[in-house]
Amino acid sequence: MIKKIVKIIAIIIAAVLVIVLGYIAYAFLSFSRIDDHLALNVQNAAAGAPYGAEIYGEVEETIPKGKELTAVSYNIGFGAYSDDFTFFMDGGKESWAFSKEAVYENISGAMDTVNAYDPDLALLQEVDIDGTRSYHIDERSLVVPGIARSRSYDYIFAQNYNSPFLMYPITQPHGANKAGILTFSMAKITSGERISLPIETGFSKVLDLDRCYSKARIPVEGGAELVVYNLHLSAYTANASTAENQLRMLVEDMQAEYDAGNYCIAGGDFNRDLLGNSPEIFHTAVLDDNWAAPVNMSLFTDDITLVVPFDENEPKASCRNPDKPYEPGDFVVTVDGFVKSANISVVKSDVIDVGFEYSDHNPVYVKFILE
């Protein structure tokens, strides 16, 4: 009888091991990176037109010099992160958005916020196109007409996430998800390109995104180009140097474009404390996570500099820790911002405080002039 019980237990253990090893093999074999230097389709969103409508909306032929322009960057958190949403990878509970309706409501609110600033450039991150976590909604169908309500834009989309089916958490598996970054311009985008960034090795690469940044080229009046970069750097990494190597690569690319006579502006989620001392500024506890560590300022150059959205008279943070529903006084940090070339002057840059109502991020903006 004892031998029989031992045999049954051994069979169960063996079966579990086979399943676990089989899943690990599936996750590794399913992983592949998108081609580097991939040309992106330039698309057009006509003002007031539904997503996918074959209607061309007129955009400016060039972007002006000497005129104040506005860029807004917003990590919309795949439409899930209302202020009471928590996320399992940050110590919270949820893996999916609360409901389809919640996704629609959060993205609608996020687009209302962006539209209030009538941006010349809009840079969005964590836009799902097919995901278990967001109920398989192609969020471009909400974001594109949401941005182009009263103004036409050219835009490009770069995919930076294509995960195999993740079985964790067991009670609500994160599933298989595809997502990316969207860049909108009120002036003609002549070409778009997706540049692959260095990522983790080992199993953690399956959990991280297929990190990249996108480049949109826009003609400037009188010659040259404005090169617009959209980025979302690594957060959940075992090696803290991964995000630094990504930022180093971005700065080197921008330096080369600037040296060629172009204007450069980058915006997005850096997953680093851009203020360097957010806990001190916002009077919170320190969070010992890579994504909240101070940015390495030595990576920037005399020509390529960081623009931190900040008003010292009314300091606001761009990101919360979604380990629990948000309450004032919780840990917050500014990880969203911009990088610019020396031929661009900044008028103002700040966080748009919406109380993390539609995402775990608040949007940020910069007002700037091409000199």
Per-position DSSP letters for 264-331, written without gaps between them: EEEEEE-SSBSSS-HHHHHT-----SGGGSBP-GGG--SSEEEE----TTS---SEE-TTS---TTS-
Contacts of 286 (CB under 8 A, 6+ apart): 279
DSSP SS3 for 107: helix
- What's the CA gap between 135 and 153, in Å, rounded? 27
Report helix angle 140-147 to 100-115, nearest 10: 20
pLDDT tens per residue across span 312-334:
999 999 999 999 999 999 999 99
What percent of the chain has pLDDT above 90?
78
What's the average model confidence in pLDDT over 137-156? Answer: 97
Of 52-61, 81-90, 208-217, 340-349, the poorest mean pLDDT is in 208-217
Confidence class for position 18, pLDDT limits 50, 70, 90: confident
- What's the CA gap between 62 and 64, in Å, rounded? 6
- With residue 40 as reference, give the H or E element that holds it: strand 38-40
How buried is residue 287: exposed, middle or buried, by Cβ count under 10 Å (0-12/13-18/19+)?
A: middle
Largest CA distance in the chain: 89
Residue with the two structure tokens 């996570």: 289
Confidence class for position 28, pLDDT limits 50, 70, 90: low
The type of residue at 83 is: D
For residue 96, give the nearest of 18, 204, 6, 168 by alpha carbon: 168
For residue 252, give the nearest of 182, 312, 320, 339 by alpha carbon: 339
Query: Full-prediction pTM beyond 0.85?
Result: yes
* Cβ proximity of 321 and 330 under 8 Å: yes
Question: What is the per-residue pLDDT for 127?
Answer: 99
Checking if the pLDDT of 282 tops 90, the result is yes
Distances (CA, A) of 34 to 145, 161, 231, 252: 27, 9, 16, 21
Checking if the pLDDT of 21 tops 90, the result is no
Q: Is cis: bond before 169, omega within 30 of 0?
A: yes
- What's the CA gap between 240 and 245, in Å, rounded? 9
How buried is residue 175: exposed, middle or buried, by Cβ count under 10 Å (0-12/13-18/19+)?
A: middle
Q: How many helices (H) and strands (E) does the chain have?
A: 6, 16
Contacts of 317 (CB under 8 A, 6+ apart): 278, 282, 332, 333, 334, 351, 362
pLDDT tens per residue across span 92-117:
999 999 999 999 999 999 999 999 99
Structure tokens at 15: 């079966």
Contacts of 74 (CB under 8 A, 6+ apart): 110, 113, 114, 122, 123, 124, 125, 336, 359, 361, 363, 364
pLDDT tens per residue across span 337-350:
999 999 999 999 99
Checking if the pLDDT of 170 tops 70, the result is yes
* Cβ proximity of 138 and 130 under 8 Å: yes
What's the average model confidence in pLDDT over 195-214? Answer: 79
- With residue 149 as reference, give the H or E element that holds it: none
- Identify the residue with better confidence: 28 or 198: 198
Confidence class for position 24, pLDDT limits 50, 70, 90: low
Checking if the pLDDT of 168 tops 90, the result is no
What percent of the chain has pLDDT above 70?
95
Confidence class for position 128, pLDDT limits 50, 70, 90: very high
